[in-house]
Structure 1
Amino acid sequence: MHETVPHWIRRNARPLTTLDPWAPLDDLAPLRSMVGDATIIGVGAATRQAHELSVTAHRILRFLVEELGFRALALEGDDPERVGLGSYIRSGQGDPRAMLARARPFWRTEEILDVVTWMRAHNQRHPDDPVRFTATSRSSGQTPRSGASLDARLADDVIGWHEHSGDRIVYWGGIAHTARSSGRLGGRLRERFGHGYLSVGLTFERGSLPWPVPAPPANFAETALSAAGTDVSLLDLRTRRSDPVRAWLESSASTRMIGPAQDPAEHLSGGSFGGWFDLVGHHRDVTPVHLISA
């Protein structure tokens, strides 16, 4: 890694100053110019099991809805109508904690409960301009569980919702899907929307999930992000850069990609960091999400 790379990251990264999901969104103000006229934002986390990445995704969602007019959330992992959350954010009927306790694993967290609670509160304040979940084909029972067929189905759901509603959409899931890579959901959305699809990667260096996750090898992108010296930051990878920085962004890369039962050594590879993501939100340290009891 060229010594210029951490200096470029340090100069261009915007610090994120709070992990309170309900706090004012002033530190996310740079997102306004970064997002521009994008129609679909893919927020992909290196793991769905980290509290810090979940809260950052929630706060990005809040900013996009409250400040930039996004009105739909595609939340990867289950069908919101199946578990009752679509009805809850529309009407307030039911117990969202009990609904999430019955959902598939990625949704059984206090962090997702905070998101659902915020969506309901937003709709109470803006009954004529609600935020809503996108429709999903999962309830048909025909959705593939993994691979390119799943990504194709997920992309079709997002494209179909946008064509039906005209909503600007936030897709929140894992980087295995949101990265701008051929065959993945992110690659398909970039093909359909061009630069109207923006890929946001949420990365981390080390922590617990709850098993210990050590710092990655030196050639992982997270190593350079942490070497810049900022604990939590938002970085636009499209910012003007020197030849060494461009070479780093465009060279073959690896970055963490950890699922609920995967080896912590699992990682995204076969592409470049600057090819996968337009923006990156990076945390040096993470802690586990808080699980909801059944």
Structure 2
Amino acid sequence: MNNDTPTPHGSSPSPTRSSGPRHPDAGLLSDATLDELAEKLAVATTIVGIGESARLSRETFVLRDRLFRKLVQHHGFRALAVQDSAGVAAGLDRYVRVGETSAESALEGAWRPWRTAEMVAALEWIRAFNQEHPNDPVRIFGVKPVQAQPEDYDAVLDHVRTSAPERLTELTRHLEPIRSAHRTDEHVQRARGTHPGRPFADHARDALALIRSLPEAAQDNGVLARLRLIVDFHEHSVAGRGSYAGDATVWADAIIDHQHRTGLRVVYWDGIAHTSAAAVTSGPAPHHGPQPSTGSLLRKRYGTQYVSVAIGFHHGDLSVFTVPEPAGDVIDAKLGAVDLPVHWLDLRRDAVRRQWDGPAKARVISGVYHPSRDAAEHLAVASLADAFDVLIHIRRVTPVRWLP
């Protein structure tokens, strides 16, 4: 191995590269290596942010889940923060604590990327752990405030159908197109050319104005509250904000508040643009410049007690598209110089930091990704080692298994 080739740590043992029958998780880090990595991450740590470069990859999800399990089993982490609303996460939390429904049912209102067989397996594992540890359970919470759900649109329409039927057609023209954002994000619809045209936030505000214009007898505070949630949902979406940065302050505050109130050690699951411990610049929108991430605010609050892990990959078929080998100037290409199914680097080690630190780009496979724009689909950071404490690189990935 020459001096230009990165030195891997915790590489998968050679049997994972055999051509014989493979375990479903073959090609990922071994249990012994994950134990080693989890132990390093857990030392003097309060929050571990584990970010994926793609939400469509089975391997990145499973590896993140297995690492989470190690942190729970052996290092006392007892809270999982996910990018979803407080209401949805409360349903997930009820399932893992009480188990009164199924994991699939608990995920019915969840953000689309969570609605996978892999997430079902993760929730079922947490549920089983909690059954064995009823006095020391794992809790789940969302980083977003309570958000509108499809049933809120139905309630508003039903109210007008009864109290002011002459306005129902007008209201329907505003609400029916925009409720589709709960299946496919508005900015993704624009990228795919399926968007109906008018900004969804404008439709939502017009629907609220319509309800407020109804005669006093037709007013209902509960319906108004639901419409305010609908307006808030669309105004704070990626399309509504005109930014991929997310509400970093709101999300970080939710994690900080939960950790402060409960005293629990937290694992935070999200994309690498959000878990990064330093500000990030979006490749598709470089004109916005560096934007604070949730992880950067957690680093500011917790210092080195917040640890950022980035899981990326080299290439693979994600079903909706095939991701090619990365361009030469992104970190994924350099990591791919190691011909192993998976390996990891601890950038907190002085020797590794000296070799790898500096301005860097990391590929991000978002909902609007297309292989023809691969070179632009990345985030940029001023310092790789400030943004990520540990890098995990998977050679080839396959798609997650979507729930119906």
Q: Take 1:19 and 1:75, find their aligned partners in 2: how far apart are those partners?
A: 25
The percent identity for this pair of structures is 33
SS in 1 for 2:146: helix
Task: Say whether 1:145 aligns with 2:237.
Answer: yes
CA deviation digits over 1:235-269, x for unaligned, max 9?
A: 21122317xx62x5222211111112333421111
Task: Say whether 1:15 aligns with 2:12.
Answer: yes
The equivalent residue for 1:52 is: 59
The equivalent residue for 1:25 is: 31
The equivalent residue for 2:253 is: 156
Pick which of 28-37 and 109-118 moved more.
Answer: 28-37
Pick which of 95-104 and 179-188 moved more.
Answer: 95-104
Pick which of 135-144 and 257-266 moved more.
Answer: 135-144
Q: Take 1:57 and 1:282, find their aligned partners in 2: how far apart are those partners?
A: 12
CA deviation digits over 1:31-78, x for unaligned, max 9?
A: 203431110000000011100000000001101100110000001234
Choose which of 162, 176, 179 in structure 1 pairs with 2:276. Answer: 179
Aligned residues between the structures:
286
Task: Say whether 1:283 aligns with 2:394.
Answer: yes
Pick which of 76-85 and 100-109 moved more.
Answer: 76-85
Q: Take 2:309 and 2:333, find their aligned partners in 1: how far apart are those partners?
A: 18
Pick which of 257-266 and 136-145 moved more.
Answer: 136-145
CA deviation digits over 1:125-180, x for unaligned, max 9?
A: 10011001125442154573345561111100000001100000000010110011
Work out whether residues 49 and 260 of structure 1, in 8 Å CA contact, stay in contact via their aligned partners in 2. no
Choose which of 307, 311, 324 in structure 2 pairs with 1:198. Answer: 307
Point out where structure 1 has 5 or more consecutive residues left out of the alignment: none
Pick which of 32-41 and 256-265 moved more.
Answer: 256-265
Q: Against the structure 1 CA distance between its residues 105 and 73, is the aligned structure 2 distance closer, same or farther, given a 3 Å change threshold?
A: same
Work out whether residues 20 and 55 of structure 1, in 8 Å CA contact, stay in contact via their aligned partners in 2. yes
Work out whether residues 19 and 52 of structure 1, in 8 Å CA contact, stay in contact via their aligned partners in 2. no
Return the index of the structure with the highest Cα Rg.
Answer: 2
Work out whether residues 356 and 385 of structure 2, in 8 Å CA contact, stay in contact via their aligned partners in 1. yes
Q: Against the structure 1 CA distance between its residues 155 and 19, is the aligned structure 2 distance closer, same or farther, given a 3 Å change threshold?
A: farther
Q: Against the structure 1 CA distance between its residues 137 and 252, is the aligned structure 2 distance closer, same or farther, given a 3 Å change threshold?
A: closer
Point out where structure 2 has 5 or more consecutive residues left out of the alignment: 17-22, 148-228, 280-291
Q: Take 2:30 and 2:395, find their aligned partners in 1: how far apart are those partners?
A: 22
Work out whether residues 207 and 214 of structure 1, in 8 Å CA contact, stay in contact via their aligned partners in 2. yes
Q: Take 1:235 and 1:270, find their aligned partners in 2: how far apart are those partners?
A: 17
Pick which of 33-42 and 81-90 moved more.
Answer: 81-90
The equivalent residue for 1:233 is: 343
Pairwise CA RMSD = 2.5
Pick which of 33-42 and 97-106 moved more.
Answer: 97-106
SS in 1 for 2:339: coil
**Larger RCO (CA under 8 A, 6+ residues apart):** 1
CA deviation digits over 1:181-226, x for unaligned, max 9?
A: 2311111000000000000000101002221110111121111212
TM-score, normalised to structure 1, is 0.89
Q: Take 2:113 and 2:306, find their aligned partners in 1: how far apart are those partners?
A: 24
**What amino acid is the match of 1:216?**
P
